[in-house]
Chain A
Amino acid sequence: MKFEKLALENFSSYRGKHQIEFHTSTDKPVTIIVGGNGKGKTSIFDAINWALYGTLYESILEKENQKSITDYVNETALKELSSADESLEMSSALQFEHESQRYRIEQELVVKQINGKTEITDRASSLYKSSASGNWSEIKPIDSFLNEILPSNVRDYFLFNGDRINKLSLPGSSEEIRDGIYRVVDLELLQNGSIHLFEIAKKFGRSAKASSEGEVADIENQYSQARDDLDDQKEKLANASEEKRALETKIEKISAKLSKMDETKELQSKRDILKERLKNFEDTQKDTIAEMRSTVAIASMRIAFGEIEELGRLLEKKREKGEIPSSISESLLKDILALQKCICGTEFKEGDRVYKELKNRLDSEIEKQVKGNDLLDLYFELEGAKSEIKKAQNRLSDLESKRVMLEKNISEIDSEYSDVMHKLTNVPDENISKLAENLQKHNSDLSELEYNIQVTKNKIREKEEQIRTLQIKRGELGAKQENVRKFQLRDNLAQKAAEELEIIFQKFAEDSRLEIQEYTSEEFVKFIPTAKALKIGIDSAFHYDVRDQIGNPALQQLSNGQKQALSLAYITSISRVSEKNPPLVIDMPFGRLDEDVQDNIAQRLPDLASQVILLVLPGSEWNKHTQSILKKKASDIYTLEFDNKNRQTTITRE
């Protein structure tokens, strides 16, 4: 898709008709529009958005900027209306090319001034397609066509401003990051379906409860209560996890500040080493305890040594006495029967008395043999079990020593860590000690929060277990009341369907997160080549996750500019994953960018999409650095001039 022309009429400060052409090509994919504050730059951005998304964009303007579309009607043209009967037209039309076809999308408003207020008297939205012969035919409906090529759900990932880049780089943006990932998955239907089915399940659950009696009613009450409790616990967990993340960000920020201060650099580095060692020891301790838990069960069976030995001794004696027979007699009898001649010399034939006697003896020997073999096996199995128990005891003993040693190490490091923290909080510089004090407090709050999160997780597990048990009872008792069972079955079915949909949605969302993470990381390094050693990610809670070479969190080590570059990398990744390859329109791309990354981003912008339209401020954004980089790639450079006297903007092409 490529924008070709924007035509405005009485839109904002553009009185009468105005036009901007975008002659971008592969070599020169950029269009620059330079205008100072209040000179109509952002109006161009709004005009493109309005032309494309009409009333949808109007509601965004109202929500985000508290502006009505009528505020955009050119004020001078409005003043010139001589009477309330006279009307004025405002429009914005965007001509674009898509898959070798030309289109024109337009929004028009007709307004009147009634009692000093601008009222809309008519409006129209249209989309036309040009044929080979040059005739234009109308396409309806507009929304479904546009959704195919420029879906509104990802609009703000190719039409955005510098504020958005900055906002996404600040802590607390995870919700928006998650939103972007969910939106690009484009499976709103699936998510809504799952929510709807959960509601239906609840409704049937309520009906089952209402129609139940006696013990069935008791179970229904318990089940419904358990479900509500589970929802509460899940919500609690989500809030606590968000709180934890916020605390971790605070801790990271303070740590980053402290590590940059000369007075505390050494202490801070010691603290980090101790923290790392502590974590390693604690992880090893956790593994050791887990192994102890699986070993102790076998080792504790040593209490049965007496019983094992008693049976073992008995079997041993029987074996010695020959009561557990060897296989000799069986083979001998088989040979005699085959030869039809006994060892005493008596000959016999199949079926006669001697044969029958010998055959009966053989059958009884075989039976004894099976039992004998089984007992022989048991004798060795008892020995084997005893040996396994002894092995487990030895291993357990080693593990116990290791655990005690680890506990001692942890306690020593812990005390060393406290000592360092004490020194940090007592540095003579008041600012530093205050920071260190805050750090300690946040760490202690974090530890408590982690404990609460664990408790909540356990409660969730217990609740889920309780629900499973209640479901079984529910099924058993429900069978006694037909009308209740009917609702129970529907409740279960809806619940199961909702859970399945949720799983599918999460799977798609996870795939999308990983894809966006990969693109973001790739793009970030192109913006900031010096950051190659950093590992960039978006964690499962949708926060940026930046790690240094040894795996320590490093997001807070990034400069503001680098964080902004990370956001821009993320935004453009969403646009990339959407596979729509739309033009990129950025209002004030460098407005909030720190100087350290301006050049890098300017270098990279022309490669981000096949067409890039930049609306920039003269001076701070359109300066000699950015000009020297972007002019080579720009097909058109427009300057916006605002006439204060007539309060209108004119567009000049350089």
Chain B
Amino acid sequence: MTTLAFTNLRVLIDEDTHQIYTDLTRGSVDKAEDVPFTKMPDLFIAAACAGAHFNKYKEISKKRRDIFVADAFDSKIHIPILIALAYKRSKKLEDLSDPKLILNICQGWANGGIHIIQDQVYSGKGLRPLYRLVDFALEKEQ
């Protein structure tokens, strides 16, 4: 599967969600506690995981924007996760050798899940966004 070619593919998101992606990733070291993600691909995967986990699939609309090239995905962690998320929707093993299809499905999951991530890190009082995400990653009660 590591041979799956994700090259020349662009990762698309809904134009409406672009600001969320920007807010959650743009920030220097001094803003670390308020901007929990450092890279767009990490955030995209986290959003897709949340979308799949909570079964919130939402096709991206025609007003879309590409945020990075799919080569940026890490082959050791990101790609197997994308395949597992794609299988959850397609249920066909033969679809798992089609990178374009996998990405299309995961864009839908991420589109549904990005708001879940946003709520997770921003809503509620007390902890700063990074620590809210830490609690979430460590499965602590919030």
Contact = CB atoms under 8 A, between A and B. Distances in A.
Interface string A367-407: 00001001101100110110011001100110010000000
Contacts of B94: 371
Contacts of A310: 84, 87-88
A371 B50 contact: no
Contacts, number: 125
Nearest to B53: A303
Nearest to B75: A381
B134 A396 contact: yes
Contacts of B83: 311, 378, 382
Interface string B33-44: 100111100110
Given A300-B136, A304-B85, A311-B87, 12 more contacts: A286-B32, A297-B38, A298-B77, A299-B138, A300-B133, A301-B49, A304-B49, A307-B84, A374-B3, A381-B80, A382-B84, A385-B76
B28 interface: yes
B139 interface: yes
A301 B46 contact: yes
B38 A461 contact: no
Interface in B108-141: 130, 133-134, 136-139
A388 B94 CA distance: 26
A299 B77 CA distance: 11
3 tightest CB-CB pairs across the interface, nearest first?
A299-B137, A297-B42, A304-B49
A378 B96 contact: yes
A302 interface: yes
Interface in B60-116: 76-77, 79-81, 83-85, 87-88, 93-94, 96-97
5 contacts: A286-B32, A300-B46, A303-B53, A371-B97, A377-B2
A314 B84 CA distance: 11
A303 B80 contact: no
Contacts of B136: 300
Interface of B: 1-3, 26, 28-33, 36-39, 42-43, 45-46, 49-50, 52-53, 76-77, 79-81, 83-85, 87-88, 93-94, 96-97, 130, 133-134, 136-139
Nearest to B88: A307
Contacts of A457: 28
Interface stretch (A287-295, A488-496, A551-559): A287-295
A420 interface: no
B77 A306 contact: no
B1 to A, nearest CB: 4
A131 interface: no
Contacts of A465: 26
A301 B80 contact: no
Contacts of A306: 53
B88 to A, nearest CB: 5
B130 A307 contact: no
Contacts of B97: 371, 374
Q: Which of A286, A304, A377 has the most CB of B within 10 A?
A: A304
A393 B38 CA distance: 17
Given A290-B29, A400-B134, A301 B2 contact: no
B110 to A, nearest CB: 12
Nearest to A289: B32
Interface string A298-324: 111111101110111010001000000
A397 B138 CA distance: 7
B134 A301 contact: no
A381 B79 contact: yes
A400 B38 contact: no
Contact of A388 (B43, B77, B84, B96): B77
Contacts of B133: 296, 300
Nearest to A301: B49
A420 B117 CA distance: 45
A371 B138 CA distance: 36
A601 to B, nearest CB: 45
Contacts of A314: 87, 93
A310 B79 CA distance: 16
B36 A296 contact: yes
Contacts of B139: 302
A301 B32 contact: no
A312 B83 CA distance: 11
B134 A296 contact: yes
A300 B49 CA distance: 9
B84 A393 contact: no
Contacts of A375: 1, 93, 96
A293 B38 contact: yes
Contact of A308 (B3, B45, B80): B80
A40 B75 CA distance: 83
B124 to A, nearest CB: 16
B37 to A, nearest CB: 6
B54 to A, nearest CB: 9
A462 to B, nearest CB: 8
A289 B28 CA distance: 12
A312 B88 CA distance: 12
Contacts of B53: 303-304, 306-307
B2 A384 contact: no
A300 B130 contact: no
A293 to B, nearest CB: 5
Contact of A304 (B26, B42, B52): B52
A374 B5 CA distance: 13
A461 B22 CA distance: 14
A454 interface: yes
Contacts of A388: 76-77
A55 interface: no
Given A290-B32, A307-B84, A374-B97, A297 B46 contact: yes
B37 A297 contact: yes
A374 B52 CA distance: 23
Nearest to A383: B80
Contacts of A397: 138
A307 B80 contact: no
Contacts of B76: 381, 384-385, 388
A239 interface: no
- Give the most central of A286, A303, A388: most B CB within 10 Å: A303
